[in-house]
Structure 1
Amino acid sequence: MAEFRIEAFPPEMRGITPLPGTPKPPAAPAAESGSKPSGEISFRDSMSNFIHDVDKLQKDSADKITQFIAGDISDVHDVMIAVEKAGTSFQLLMELRNKMLDAYNEIKRMST
């Protein structure tokens, strides 16, 4: 991954201040040659966490729908937001799956 330095940006962009209340990005860890930083997350762990998050969003949206039907929630807006979040996350997961399968098939094709 390319590392961006502030000096690479035009002067008018260097003076941009972040919005109040926005979190600061974490500092980049110092890379040691040949060793993996202790805080680095593997691709497998990252995908596993994402799948777990999508599953949780799906279950939360199903719960909100059930609560809305039962009359426990009167605000349809909250229900629709939960459903859309779950749907968008699932669509992203499917796109990631498709891209990974495409990459796998391309590698398989190149090795034959």
Structure 2
Amino acid sequence: MTDSINQISNMFSPGIPPVGFNDNTANSVASDVSFKDMMLQSLENVNQIQAQSQQSIERGLLGEDITQAEVFSSIKKADLALRMMVQMRNKLLEAYNEIQRMQM
């Protein structure tokens, strides 16, 4: 269970070292990844999870060797990934709007 949570959290934060990790190599890795690339990779990951969920639904409907629990799990994983991406978008828009309201 913990491994699956770590996989999901790592999916949205590639190249970002864990909190409290004070290695100089981790800082150079984090600085090499641009924000745009990180967001595009996150979008691609969410899209890939959605496609995998769709495939598991199709496999379940066709009667292939997949349990209902596995289908449900893939659907919930895709739902969680999409909700996380929507929340990230909302926070970005909120920050952008706040920057626009700033007076120079």
Q: Same fold (TM over 0.5)?
A: yes
Q: Which has the higher contact order (CA 8 A, sep 6+)?
A: 2
List structure 1 runs of 4+ shifted beyond 4 angstroms. Answer: none
TM-score by length of 1: 0.65
Matched letter for residue 71 of structure 2: V
Q: CA deviation at 1:45?
A: 1.0
Q: Which residue is equivalent to 1:58?
A: 50
Kindly state the Cα deviation for residue 28 of structure 1 after the two structures are TM-superposed.
2.1
Unaligned runs of 5+ in 1: 1-24
| Runs (5+) with no aligned partner, structure 2 | 1-17
1:28 partner amino acid: D
Establish whether residue 37 from structure 1 lines up as the match of residue 32 from structure 2.
no
Q: Give the TM-score of the pair, scaled to structure 2.
A: 0.70
Which residue, 96, 99, 112 being the options, matches 2:88? 96
**Which one has the largest radius of gyration?**
1
> Percent same amino acid among aligned pairs?
30
Residue among 41, 46, 51 paired with 1:49: 41
**Comparing both structures, which one devotes a greater share of its residues to helix?**
2
Offset of 1:27 from its aligned partner?
A: 6.1
Q: What is the aligned-residue RMSD (CA, Å)?
A: 2.4
**1:74, CA displacement in angstroms?**
3.9
For the structure 1 residues 28 and 78, does the alpha-carbon distance in structure 2 shift closer, same or farther, using more than 3 Å as the test? same
